[in-house]
Structures are given as structure tokens and as C-alpha cells.
Amino acid sequence: MLSFDDYREGAEALSKKLSGFKPEVLIILGSGLGRLGEKLASPIVIPYGEIPHMKFSTAPGHAGRFLAGELGGKKVLLMQGRLHFYEGWAAEDAAFPIRVAKLLGIDKLIVTNAAGGINTGYKPGELMLISDFIKLNSVNPLIGPNMDEFGPRFPDMSRVFDREYMAAFRLVAESHGENIHEGVYFYCTGPQYETPAEIRAMRILGADAVGMSTVPECIAARHCGMRILGVTLVTNMAAGILDKPLSGEEVIEAGNAASERLSGYVREFLERI
Ligand code: HPA
């Protein structure tokens, strides 16, 4: 289990690598969505392995490094690749970079992910602003002794995603003619895709999309008081909706196809906040 000193050591190492550069926004890029990194002019590149206590990315389409630089007039720290519970890391490992970022003074988070569409009004390739999530009793990065330095034992989650950020991102997307949805993200650990029966159950519970990431990070980020924007790319319809099997390749391809477009919106969003 990580101690507060471990976070402090991670933050000190990252701060040293940043040599005076002070990011204000952390951006986590989902499957196949790493292209945003190319928009940073002469970024500082820091592989996760150079930060003590940080785990490495093993998921396809996740490079496993920080990039730091300017984007949309803001100083950003970008994660090309996130850490997932299904890779064998603990939920607190997936959330480690969030808390390290907080210790560096970062209090804004943008998360993107790939997900399956549960809402039959959605189509692959479309975007969804995450308005809330459902995790129920799955894994949680806050289990263990509470670190009061970050936040309270029983943090409020009644508004995880920032309304102003959602409105600003919506304006950007709609200015490009995008039909952007707003919906609830259901977290599953994976790595297997869901069964059709599970998807029907999630729909009854009020979910619009399903994925294997984002929620552990958002819980840790809200715990320490960050403002969060979450954007989902619907890469496929969830299991059982169409008469075909799901594949990881399909997800990466859809991510790659949307990466440039979503990256542009994130940059414009940063100009507005
Ligand atoms: N289910 C879970 N995670 C996903 C999916 C899905 O259908 N698509 C992309 N990530």
C-alpha cells in the first residue's frame, strides 16, 4: 500500500524532471487517443519508469509516458497511456499520478476514454460528455487508511464532473457540428468485454456507456478537490446490441480515427477555461 511519502517522492522526481515548468492541467488520454501529444511543441518527455512508485502501461495504444508542454495557452501535463486495474495494478496505482499531480499544484483534470455505447441512440465514433458514473461495489483507490492530506475519509461524489467544463466543451464540439451526447459511464474492471445480459442490466440501471478505466482516477481526483472534465469516445456498440463480436482492434481503430478531432476539441477547450 502506498504511503504519503511515496506520493511525495513521486512528485519530487516529476518536479525535478519538469525543471521549473509548472503544469496547471493534467490530461489523461484513452485507448488510441494519444495523438494529442503531437500537438505539444517541444514537450518534455518523461517515461513512467523514471518516476518512483509509478507503474508502467501495458495496454495496447497506451505509450506509458508523461509529456509536458503548452496547449491552448495552458501549461499541461499529459499522460500518454493510463494504468488500469485489469493490468494487475491496484486501483491506488491507477490513481497514483492524480495525487502526484495534485502535489505539484495541479487542480484540473481532463480524462478521455474509449467505451462501448449502451444507449441505442448512440453511434460508434460519437462523443459523450460524462455527466456521472456508476461503479457500485467495484474496485476503489481510496480503500485503506485515509490520507487526510488529500481529502476526507468519506468524500462527496454528488458532482464529480464540472458543469462549467461540460458546457465549455459542448460549445467547442457543437461549433464543429458535433452531435455530442451527455451520459452516465458504467465502470467495469475488464479485461473481458461484458455479456449482453450485463449490458441490458446496466441500461436498466441508467448507464449510457461502459468502459474499463477513468473511474478510479476520477474518484481520487474528486477526493483531492480537482475539477474534472470527462469525455468518452464511443468506439463500438456494447455487447449484444449488434449481431457481432467485440474486439480490441476495433476499439483502437475507432480511437485512432477520432484522435485528431478530439485532440482539436481539447485544445480549444483549454483556450476557453
Ligand atoms: N466495453 C468495455 N470497455 C470498452 C468497450 C466496451 O464495449 N469499448 C471500449 N472500451
- Which one is predicted more confidently, 41 or 131? 131
Q: With beta carbons less than 8 A apart as the criterion, state whether 92 and 99 touch.
A: no
Mean pLDDT of 23-38: 87
Q: Is 235 in the pocket of ligand 1 (CB under 6 A)?
A: yes
- pLDDT tens for 202-240 read 999 999 999 999 999 999 999 999 999 999 999 999 999
Question: What is the atom index within ligand 1 of the atom nearest the CA of 251?
Answer: 9
Q: How far is the CA of 264 from the centre of ligand 1 (A)?
A: 23
CA-closest residue to ligand 1 atom 6:
116
Q: Is 251 in the pocket of ligand 1 (CB under 6 A)?
A: yes
Q: For the chain, what's the residue count? A: 273
Q: Is 238 in the pocket of ligand 1 (CB under 6 A)?
A: yes
- Read off the amino acid at residue 145: P
CA-closest residue to ligand 1 atom 9:
115
Q: What is the pLDDT of residue 62?
A: 67
**Complete DSSP assignment for 86-154:** GGT--HHHHHHHHHHHHHTT--EEEEEEEEEE-STT--TT-EEEEEEEE-TTS--TT-SS--TTT--SS
Of the candidates 174, 164, 22, the residue with the CA atom closest to the CA atom of residue 104: 22
Of the candidates 128, 155, 80, 129, the residue with the CA atom closest to the CA atom of residue 229: 129
Rounded Cα distance between 57 and 89, Å, is 10
Q: Is-cis flag, bond preceding 191, omega within 30? A: yes
Mean pLDDT of 129-153: 96
Positive or negative, the CA dihedral 12, 16, 18, 19 is positive
Q: What is the pLDDT of residue 28?
A: 94
Please tell me whether residue 71 adopts helix, strand or coil conformation: strand
Q: Is 116 in the pocket of ligand 1 (CB under 6 A)?
A: yes
Level-2 CATH architecture, domain 4-272: 3-Layer(aba) Sandwich (3.40)
- pLDDT tens for 97-131 read 999 999 999 999 999 999 999 999 999 999 999 99
Instruction: Give 34's DSSP letter.
Output: G
Rounded Cα distance between 111 and 62, Å, is 14
Q: Which helix (H) or strand (E) holds 164?
A: helix 163-175
Rounded Cα distance between 232 and 247, Å, is 18
Q: What is the pLDDT of residue 254?
A: 85
Burial 118-130 (b: 16+ CB within 10 A, else e): bbeebebebbbbb
Of the candidates 203, 205, 263, the residue with the CA atom closest to the CA atom of residue 233: 263
The yes-or-no verdict on residue 158 having pLDDT over 90 is yes
Q: With beta carbons less than 8 A apart as the criterion, state whether 92 and 3 touch.
A: no
Distance of CA 249 to the CA centre of its chain: 20
**Phi, psi of 123, rounded to the nearest 5 degrees:** -130, 150
Q: What is the pLDDT of residue 180?
A: 98
Q: With beta carbons less than 8 A apart as the criterion, state whether 237 and 119 touch.
A: no
- pLDDT tens for 163-207 read 999 999 999 999 999 999 999 999 999 999 999 999 999 999 999
Q: How far is the CA of 58 from the centre of ligand 1 (A)?
A: 17
Q: What is the pLDDT of residue 32?
A: 66
Domain ranges of the chain: 4-272
Question: What is the atom index within ligand 1 of the atom nearest the CA of 116?
Answer: 7
Q: Is 215 in the pocket of ligand 1 (CB under 6 A)?
A: no
Q: Is 202 in the pocket of ligand 1 (CB under 6 A)?
A: no
Q: What is the pLDDT of residue 117?
A: 98
